Amino acid sequence: MRDLDFAKKILDVYWIDEVTDKKMREVQEGRKVTLYIITRGYKEGEQVTVKILASKGHVFDNGSTEMLVSGIVNSENFATIENFVIQYK
């Protein structure tokens, strides 16, 4: 019998540009994007949270270099946060 891993995991996190519909690993300040959080082991309807780090030398509007972002996992094992915009001080 195989040992199945049912632990909650975040498999991937990426942005989709809302204008070009292209997948990105980094996003420019002020650009509207959708954040995708790909998961395993989460149940539909559960909340998943990721930490976003500010670009080197920048701080977010809240005065921190880190931002926690949460979404709700859907039946396809991913969460999306639409109309997301990074703003720096």
What confidence score (pLDDT) does residue 33 get? 95
If residue 52 lies in a helix (H) or strand (E), which one and from where to where? Answer: strand 47-53
Q: Which residues pair with 80 in a beta bridge?
A: 36
44-88 confidence digits (pLDDT tens): 999 999 999 999 999 999 899 999 999 999 999 999 999 999 999
What does the block give as tokens for 5?
């891993």
Q: What average pLDDT does the segment 21-29 reach? A: 90
Using CA atoms, how far apart are residues 29 and 32, in angstroms rounded to an integer? 9
Q: CB of 22 within 8 A of CB of 37? A: no
Using CA atoms, how far apart are residues 58 and 19, in angstroms rounded to an integer? 25
What confidence score (pLDDT) does residue 28 get? 87
Where does the pLDDT of residue 1 fall: very low under 50, low under 70, confident under 90, or very high at 90 and above?
very low
What confidence score (pLDDT) does residue 2 get? 54
Residue type, 4: L
